[in-house]
Structure 1
Amino acid sequence: MKKAILGLLAFLSVQIVGFSQEQYFFPGEKFDNSIPSPSEFLGYEIGTWHTRYDLIVKYFEKLDELSPRAELTIIGQTHEHRPKVILTISKEANMSNLEEIRQKQVQLASPSEAMPDISSMPAIIHLGYGVHGNEPSSAEAAMLTAYWLLASQSDLAKNLLENSVVHIDPTVNPDGRDRHSLWANSNKGFPPVADPNDREHNEAWPAGRTNHYWFDLNRDWLPLAHPESQSKIDWYHTWYPNVTTDFHEMGTNSTYFFEPTKPFGSENPVVPRKNYEDINIRFAKYFERYMNEIQSLYWTKEVFDNSYPGYGSTYPDIQGGLGLVFETASSRGHVQESQRGEITFAFTIRNHVVNSLATMEAALDNREFMHEYLREFFDTAISEAKSSSIKNYVFGDKYDQSRNTLFVKFLMDHQIEVYENNRDVSAGGYDFGAGKSWIVPTDQPQYRMVRTMFEYVDEFADSVFYDASAWTMAAAYGMPFAANAGSGKGEKLESIDFPSFDFPENKAYAYLIDWSDFYAPKFLYHAQKEGIHVEQVNGPFTAQTNSGPMDFPAGTLMIPMGFQKLSAEEVSSKLKVIAEKTHQEVFSTETGMNLKGIDLGSNLVGALELPKVLMVVGDGVSSYDAGAIWYLMDSQIGMPITKVNSDDLGRLNLFDYTSIILPSGNYSGLSENFVNHFKDWINRGGTVISSGSASLWLQRQGITSEKPVTLEEPKEDPKALPFADRRNFEGAKAVGGSIYMAQLDLTHPIAYGYQRETLPVYRNTSIFILPSADKYLTPVRYTSDPFLGGYISDENLKKLSQSASVIISPSGRGRVIHFFDNPVFRGTWFGTNKLLFNAIFFGNQMD
């Protein structure tokens, strides 16, 4: 970058009046006139409007059309059916030879294959932009970077085309971007208003940060809950880029952040130290130089997280590349006042443009070094695995074939090798049957991802966390698993399908469906939706079925043929279709007299009502919590729930609903009239499902009266501490996301479908509530030694050990089901999802 604009005060009101786009963003550069700039294509200067995603794609399509050095690829779709695209740019010879280049790059990540000649291999650079929709500057920077790379006549641009392949993802989160762009453009003034209080700078709930289902996609590279991330990870593993960027925005009064992050305290334990102590430092010198040239303030080595492996800037670190996070001060609109003057949208864009160029130059200069590191990363993964005492992990849930399938598919999506288990294994307190469980060997290229999936992290260099401090995905899936020193793996899996079963053809007195499978609730909902009468057996029994004598646990679904409005032929025909779609095994019986346990006409058998669920959303409610519940019901059950803004509740008749979900949040703005109606609805039999801090609001309203945990001898804070220690001292008191072992009461309806008394749960709240005074109504509490992984202070661990995970609070003829641990965290805590399903389908039985 040349110092043509050193006289500009980059932190003040930078107006580009009098400067062309090229002069402002690329001072002193000359460009090929055959390639249109973004402003020429769009009809407005970059930074004067927020560009809609479809126009970004159309600009990339134009570059593809005009230049043989550019190729646009659609790699997937969002929930709202916007295309996910990658624009690939390189010299013509490389573009005509991309597949050979790709295969050689993948060969570097395959230790069993010969090391290719890296001397002529291009650097593989992945520039990722816009994972948070309301951090919009990076997507504008993506267009400018693509333009510069194709049109600039500079030596650097020519060198990059010659010796690199650049993949540009302009917007990781198109749905969120368009939600924010519409807001910013619709509320723009002429001239724009810089006052932070202006509507333009204050989006309506849930804002544009998240995707369609209000998920933060920058946490989804590991969980892979959403199609945006699934397609991105699939693409990532076809290329194994040497460098991947992740561009963001932060507070308007900030400056600019680039890596390195906070040493040790923010670093992932499975990533080689070379990444942090060598590679990061090499690249930082380029960012420093580029930012100095435009006189833009910046900072490093603070706050931001490199430990959680599910960011766009951390997942590449566990794949032999370098992931880089960048954060710029945000105008959150077109111009906004800050402590340094007015911050313009153009200024925020320029910061990301120069660091896009800096990243490419650094990757180019370190091309062979990064190729060598990619091979070294996977070579050392193999050597570390061979030296480990753990030779494999064995896992499998013998009661839940659908959840097994989901977990195996998940591992394979991350390129982890999974094998059939061909022998009976007892390990970690579990029995794993041959043919009904799986083996993940540690001796494989993805050894570090294997550790990520199965290890509990319990030692930390810091006690303050930017995000989650635990991410053991086997626990998230509620999967019985154990480290194992032995062998016994069978065939390697190339794919896995959900189970399928033959539907019974005999004349049935009743049909029976075990509730243990993950998709049994989906079966129930769709059967009820089709008008089929379903009952539940609230005790264990052994029935004579079409498959012989079968044991069934409490919670089993029973479809009595003598109480159907539909004909027997219609019922069996519909059930056959539903069972196939939901992967459920349906048994038939020709008698109501069971071989053991209660009979099918027992008083412990009762009809199930089709739920109609309302969830409160809007101001004060956690959009993350609400979105996770919404997505779970949509994607896994296919059951609609009614979402109502908190300020619209006063117009509703709550008696139209069987259950009301209160996601974690602050409900203090609800009117007195609504609260009275709400109390009346509960007292007349309603079921409230409450998450996190919503339970505190219920306490304040007198709807429930559970008691907080208080330690007999609480640890007293020091009388005085240095002011500079305040963040670390107070931050250490938070529970930022950690995993614990809970004890289930298997006889309680909240635990129907579970066959083991223990279950890993995820906690990201410091709300500690004592078990219920009613000895029957704390169906999920912690074991005597609950800690599994993540950070928690000693004092909080003492509180947690005395507290409840789930409490049922009766209120009149109704009840509140309190979840103090998050059963739906980030869309992949499949192990605890059934607790929520049970609350929805069986809530009226729980007290």
Structure 2
Amino acid sequence: MTAVYRLLNLLILGLLLSGIGLGWPQAVQGQPAFPLPLPLPSEISYDPAIPRPEEVIGHVVGTRHTAPHQIVAYFQAVAAASDRVLVEEHGRTYEGRPLIHAIVSAPENLMRLEAIRTANMRLSEAPETVSDAELARMPVVAYLGYSIHGNEASGSEASLLVLYYLAAARGPAIDSLLAQAVLIIDPMLNPDGRDRFVDWANRNRGRVPVADPQDREHIEPWPGGRTNHYWFDLNRDWLTGQHPESQGRLRLFHHWRPQLLTDHHEMGSESTFFFMPGVPSRTHPLTPARNQELTAAIARYHAEVFNQIGSLYYSEEGYDDFYYGKGSTYPDANGAVGILFEQASSRALLRETRDGVLSYAFTVRNHFAASLSTLRALRALRIELLRYQRDFYREAEQLARQLPVKAYLIALEPGRTRAQMLAQVLRRHRIRIYMLARDVTVEGKTFRAGQAYVVPVQQPQARMLQALMERRTTFEDSLFYDVSAWTLPLAYDVVWAEWKRNPSPLLGAPVDSVKLDGGTLIGDRSDYAYLMTWDRFFAPAALYQLQRAGVRARMLSRTITLPVAGTRRTFPPGTVLIPVVQRDGKGPGPDSLQALLQQLAQTYHVRFYAVQTGLTEEGPDLGTRDYGRVLEQPRVALLTGEGTRAYNAGEVWHLLSERMHMPVSLLDVQHVAWADLSRYNRLVLAGGSYAALPSEKIKNWVREGGVLIALTSAVDWVVAQGWLNLKAKPFELDSLLRPYPYGQLARARGAQVIGGAILEARMDTTHPLAFGLGATLPVFRTEETFYEPSEVPGANVAVYTEQPLLSGYLSAARRQQAPGAAAVVAQRYGRGRIILIMDNPNFRAFWPGSSRLFLNAVFFGDAF
């Protein structure tokens, strides 16, 4: 073993042995030793029956990157050896990896764990019943979460040391801590991403670590290990819980409702160490001031430890507590305190920086130190944290009384599936929902009894509900670490309204769990044709399965009326016509087709109607030449690889594969030059840089009949090719910045950034790409280039309304740009089509409202 590896071994060994009295190693073969022992109490000893990490994983922590299965194995081994530790599974990833956590406490606490949990629940469910005297006897609950970004790996390594310390340490200090706390240790919040990163790092390292940042080990290939299987940032998914990793941890979080949550990350290699509080002016207004006071009090414990070990650190800059979808901010809306830790990243075992060589061992040590300082703070501030959570929920009733809105109404029709998907998100955050007990009309919208939800504001989760539903357009600060808006009813594009009176007369049966339903076949069997309305979210998935079965479906482009099952029914444009008899004699027979439709109705919650005649009472007959074009079965290639935005590409991949159950070819940009594009009839550019694309080849493919769909920044690449004559609206950033002195330029420039705002687009409802959508559509804007509408007749599928800002931050200058700008442009190009969607319709998988626009482009892209 080389001297460097010996040093790394001893560095981490020192972490474990410094409290045993063996001290910190002073030198290794003439090299200076790590001079900073951790401040562990000298009276602590360690139980030899508890396995050390290296005895299970096969290497000393910090000497290589530990794989997910090794972390699971170590946690299970400690649980088997210790009466302080339980290990449980709270979910599985897309790739089938277990999501585990350890519950660590005194043995006597573990024996009455359910009683402790039940008592802890009263802080948020019945806070008025918990006295100060009872608080003094209650254990505090903390959730210690590590490495939600898979390539920010040092946090998970530190979790191994934390578990060993808590299980093996002996002495009055550790006994006192465990008697007064229940600790939930989540060692890796993103196993799939970690596996991708660890595999790369370990496979591209020689015997001797290389600190050169240009070395292959230091440069992950696209998409990197940060994200989950579908390339989503799981640290932005706490609020909406769209992925199994998030849903598992949300169930765990709300099963226990901790008072403190820590979130261990890494940042740029030239940085130091960050811990909360963040930028004071960028704390969400719904977060109580006491939350930030406790955050600052906890920070003093971190500072004390880092002062002792000599590590540089900072707080109150760079990061903020505004977006509740991050792990360190989500607790703030749930009566807890969230703490973000950011450690300068070595990524590899060693990395050159301006401040010397940064080692993986050093990064692990700092996260371990922050974990220990958290435990010290937890013990010292136990009663304050418990009291804060109790008072947070006590004050929820007072907050609800002050709000003008007393309840939210959400209609199930139209858009039943999307409304139910929204209700599922609310229930993930234990927000109480009821069925509507009687018909009401609000703001010209009628909500029917049994066909709408009522969500009263007067409930323990009043703050969380307000955060999810409110439309906020004024802010104390114009800079945001993440998005400025996430109003869920707009994202799901449901019919909703604010109820400003006592909602008690409206409350019907409580809704405990929400299952998607409403699929049906009306009219039983037909030997002629069926119709499927295009108003349900999963209608494209049902259509794809029909096409896969050999059905040549067509699309109604005009409204028709005809009898179905003895009732006169009207079908709008976008309705899909499903002939029973296929012209070529292929496809399912009448009985098989009926059975298939019944199955699809239940699977995808769509509505089919059996029609017995092609003669309509109003509108064109079913055999009209207006419907002569058979809908193409989409054969989709999604451009991926270096230069493209993995987030955007992952959103498209997830939507089509995971939700619509259709295959997607992931085609790397670098491979397009030699790829056979004739295999595809849809090409999706989700966003990013496409400089490596052979533009002439793409142009010819479109001319020959392909449908090119460009989203967000990919629009700029298409426009730059000159295939469409679109002009960007002028925006003189330099003139806006000219009055500012140098020290204010960064903030002034940042104020013009569109970090994520919700705008309103007006749809051309006669265009096939708008079928199934309403007259207006909320869209999520992240791009800063606004385009003038196309001068080609009929090409402007959507433009922004005259007052488009629905929720979020837009600077005054941007507000002047947006009205009337193009939101969706679609044109013929040769025999093909080019569709430009300026916004991100699939943002973070919680925008099913605008995702329908993208799905229309995929399924109806050649139908105009």
**Partner in structure 2 of residue 82 of structure 1:** 97
Any idea what SS the aligned residue of 1:118 has?
helix
**Partner in structure 2 of residue 273 of structure 1:** 289
Matched, 1:175 2:192: yes
Which residue type is aligned with residue 589 of structure 2?
A: S
Q: Relative to structure 1, is the Cα distance of residues 362 and 810 closer, same or farther in structure 2, using a 3 angstrom cutoff?
A: same
Pairwise CA distance, 1:705: 2.3
- Could you say what the CA RMSD is over the residues aligned between the two structures, in angstroms? 1.7
* Alignment check: 8 A CA contact 1:125 1:360 kept: no
**Partner in structure 2 of residue 392 of structure 1:** 407
Aligned partner of 2:238 among 200, 221, 231: 221
**Partner in structure 2 of residue 163 of structure 1:** 180
Higher mean Cα deviation, 235-244 or 391-400? 391-400
Show CA shifts across 1:115-159 (max 9, x none).
162222111111000100000000000010011111123543222
Show CA shifts across 1:369-409 (max 9, x none).
11111110011111110222211111125222211221112
Any idea what SS the aligned residue of 1:51 has?
coil
Pairwise CA distance, 1:463: 1.1
**Partner in structure 1 of residue 255 of structure 2:** 238
Any idea what SS the aligned residue of 1:39 has?
helix
Pairwise CA distance, 1:113: 6.2
TM-score (norm 2): 0.93
**Partner in structure 1 of residue 696 of structure 2:** 676
Pairwise CA distance, 1:737: 0.1
Show CA shifts across 1:458-512 (max 9, x none).
1211111111011111111112222111332222112233224355434332101
Which residue type is aligned with residue 272 of structure 1?
A: P
**Partner in structure 2 of residue 594 of structure 1:** 616
Q: Relative to structure 1, is the Cα distance of residues 692 and 507 closer, same or farther in structure 2, using a 3 angstrom cutoff?
A: closer
**Partner in structure 1 of residue 600 of structure 2:** 578
**Partner in structure 2 of residue 6 of structure 1:** none
Q: Relative to structure 1, is the Cα distance of residues 547 and 690 closer, same or farther in structure 2, using a 3 angstrom cutoff?
A: farther
Pairwise CA distance, 1:17: 6.0
* Alignment check: 8 A CA contact 1:39 1:46 kept: yes
**Partner in structure 2 of residue 662 of structure 1:** 685
- Which residues in structure 2 correspond to 1:51-70 (within 5 Å)? 51-70=66-85
Pairwise CA distance, 1:410: 1.6
* Alignment check: 8 A CA contact 1:219 1:311 kept: yes
Any idea what SS the aligned residue of 2:325 has?
coil
Which residue type is aligned with residue 454 of structure 2?
A: I
Pairwise CA distance, 1:781: 1.1
Which residue type is aligned with residue 484 of structure 2?
A: S
Q: Relative to structure 1, is the Cα distance of residues 140 and 151 closer, same or farther in structure 2, using a 3 angstrom cutoff?
A: same
Higher mean Cα deviation, 220-229 or 569-578? 569-578
* Alignment check: 8 A CA contact 1:399 1:516 kept: yes
Aligned partner of 2:807 among 779, 785, 789: 789
* Alignment check: 8 A CA contact 1:709 1:802 kept: no
CA–CA distance in 2 between the matches of 1:14 and 1:795? 54
**Partner in structure 1 of residue 768 of structure 2:** 749
* Alignment check: 8 A CA contact 1:253 1:338 kept: yes
**Partner in structure 1 of residue 832 of structure 2:** 814
- Which residues in structure 2 correspond to 1:104-143 (within 5 Å)? 104-111=119-126, 114-115=129-130, 117-143=134-160
Q: Relative to structure 1, is the Cα distance of residues 166 and 320 closer, same or farther in structure 2, using a 3 angstrom cutoff?
A: same
Matched, 1:546 2:565: yes
Matched, 1:768 2:786: yes
Pairwise CA distance, 1:633: 0.8
Higher mean Cα deviation, 362-371 or 69-78? 362-371
CA–CA distance in 2 between the matches of 1:193 and 1:723? 39
Show CA shifts across 1:641-675 (max 9, x none).
100111111221212211100111111123xxx32
Matched, 1:442 2:420: no
CA–CA distance in 2 between the matches of 1:733 and 1:768? 13
CA–CA distance in 2 between the matches of 1:200 and 1:768? 40
* Alignment check: 8 A CA contact 2:424 2:514 kept: yes
Which residue type is aligned with residue 776 of structure 1?
A: G
Any idea what SS the aligned residue of 2:280 has?
coil
Q: Relative to structure 1, is the Cα distance of residues 430 and 714 closer, same or farther in structure 2, using a 3 angstrom cutoff?
A: farther
Pairwise CA distance, 1:613: 0.5
Higher mean Cα deviation, 510-519 or 603-612? 603-612
Structure 2 gaps, min length 5: 1-6, 19-23, 25-36
**Partner in structure 1 of residue 554 of structure 2:** 535
CA–CA distance in 2 between the matches of 1:18 and 1:367? 30
- Which residues in structure 2 correspond to 1:238-317 (within 5 Å)? 238-264=255-281, 266-276=282-292, 278-317=293-332
**Partner in structure 1 of residue 118 of structure 2:** 103
- Which residues in structure 2 correspond to 1:137-156 (within 5 Å)? 137-156=154-173
Q: Name the % identity.
A: 36
* Alignment check: 8 A CA contact 1:328 1:348 kept: yes
Pairwise CA distance, 1:435: 2.2
Any idea what SS the aligned residue of 1:607 has?
coil
Structure 1 gaps, min length 5: 1-12
Show CA shifts across 1:688-747 (max 9, x none).
000111111112222222111126x98933545332212101111110000111111111
Aligned partner of 2:382 among 359, 367, 382: 367
Which residue type is aligned with residue 284 of structure 2?
A: N
Higher mean Cα deviation, 444-453 or 35-44? 35-44
* Alignment check: 8 A CA contact 1:105 1:240 kept: yes
Any idea what SS the aligned residue of 1:185 has?
helix
Which residue type is aligned with residue 177 of structure 2?
A: L
**Partner in structure 2 of residue 697 of structure 1:** 717
**Partner in structure 1 of residue 748 of structure 2:** 729
* Alignment check: 8 A CA contact 2:322 2:480 kept: no
Q: Relative to structure 1, is the Cα distance of residues 387 and 547 closer, same or farther in structure 2, using a 3 angstrom cutoff?
A: farther
* Alignment check: 8 A CA contact 2:193 2:225 kept: yes
Show CA shifts across 1:10-59 (max 9, x none).
xxx98846964523675655322111221232232211110001110100
Aligned partner of 1:44 among 59, 83, 101: 59
* Alignment check: 8 A CA contact 1:257 1:327 kept: yes
* Alignment check: 8 A CA contact 1:109 1:374 kept: yes
* Alignment check: 8 A CA contact 1:533 1:560 kept: yes
Which residue type is aligned with residue 690 of structure 1?
A: A
**Partner in structure 1 of residue 341 of structure 2:** 326
**Partner in structure 1 of residue 643 of structure 2:** 620
Show CA shifts across 1:518-571 (max 9, x none).
111111011111112211111111121125111110010111123252322222
**Partner in structure 2 of residue 708 of structure 1:** 728
Which residue type is aligned with residue 587 of structure 1?
A: Y
Pairwise CA distance, 1:676: 1.9
Pairwise CA distance, 1:239: 0.6
* Alignment check: 8 A CA contact 1:511 1:559 kept: yes
Q: Relative to structure 1, is the Cα distance of residues 598 and 383 closer, same or farther in structure 2, using a 3 angstrom cutoff?
A: same
Which residue type is aligned with residue 65 of structure 2?
A: H
**Partner in structure 1 of residue 21 of structure 2:** none
Any idea what SS the aligned residue of 2:178 has?
helix
Which residue type is aligned with residue 780 of structure 2?
A: Y
Any idea what SS the aligned residue of 1:724 has?
helix
**Partner in structure 2 of residue 568 of structure 1:** 590
**Partner in structure 1 of residue 856 of structure 2:** 838
Which residue type is aligned with residue 597 of structure 1?
A: G
* Alignment check: 8 A CA contact 2:685 2:714 kept: yes
* Alignment check: 8 A CA contact 1:14 1:343 kept: no
* Alignment check: 8 A CA contact 2:122 2:130 kept: yes
Matched, 1:686 2:709: no
Q: Relative to structure 1, is the Cα distance of residues 677 and 166 closer, same or farther in structure 2, using a 3 angstrom cutoff?
A: same
Any idea what SS the aligned residue of 1:34 has?
coil
Which residue type is aligned with residue 204 of structure 2?
A: N
* Alignment check: 8 A CA contact 1:21 1:45 kept: no
Higher mean Cα deviation, 551-560 or 495-504? 495-504
CA–CA distance in 2 between the matches of 1:506 and 1:44? 66
CA–CA distance in 1 between the matches of 2:342 and 2:172? 28
Pairwise CA distance, 1:429: 4.4
